[in-house]
Amino acid sequence: MDTQKINLASITFFKFPPKNRFWIFKQIGRSKRLESKFDGTNFVRLMGTGAGFGFEILPDFSSYALLIHWTDLDAAENVEQHPTFRELADMSESHETHWMQCARVHGSWNGVNPFFPSAEYKGGPIITITRARISWKYMLSFLKAVKVTVKALQNTPGLIYTKGIGQTPLVEQATFSIWENAECMENYAYRTRHQEYLEVNQQWFQEELFGRFVPVELP
How many Å apart are CA 70 and CA 81, to the nearest integer? 15
Residue 127 has pLDDT above 50, yes or no: yes
**Taking a C-beta distance cutoff of 8 angstroms, is the pair 172, 46 a contact?**
no
Which H/E stretch holds residue 106?
strand 94-107
How many Å apart are CA 44 and CA 129, to the nearest integer? 15
User: For residue 146, what pLDDT is reported?
Assistant: 67
Q: Which residues contact 192 (CB under 8 A, 6 or more apart)?
A: 149, 152, 156
51-to-17, 23, 198 alpha-carbon distances in Å: 15, 18, 23
Residue 99 has pLDDT above 80, yes or no: yes
**Secondary structure class of 107 (helix, strand, coil):** strand
How many Å apart are CA 217 and CA 219, to the nearest integer? 6
Residue 198 has pLDDT above 60, yes or no: no
How many Å apart are CA 144 and CA 117, to the nearest integer? 33
- Which structural domain, as residue segments, surrounds residue 105? 1-219
User: For residue 2, what pLDDT is reported?
Assistant: 41
Count: domains in the chain: 1
If you average pLDDT over every residue of the chain, what do you get? Answer: 85
Q: Find residue 99's DSSP bridge partners.
A: 10
Domain of 87, CATH number, reads 3.30.70.100
What confidence tier does 191 reach under pLDDT thresholds 50, 70, 90?
low
Q: What are the DSSP calls for 153-218, one per residue?
A: HHT-TTEEEEEEEESSTTTEEEEEEEESSHHHHHHHHHHSHHHHHHHH-GGGEEEEEEEEEEE---
pLDDT tens figures, 25-76: 999 877 667 778 899 999 999 999 988 765 666 789 999 999 999 999 999 9
pLDDT tens figures, 142-168: 666 666 666 667 778 899 999 989 877
Q: Which residues contact 16 (CB under 8 A, 6 or more apart)?
A: 23, 24, 61, 62, 63, 64, 91, 92, 93
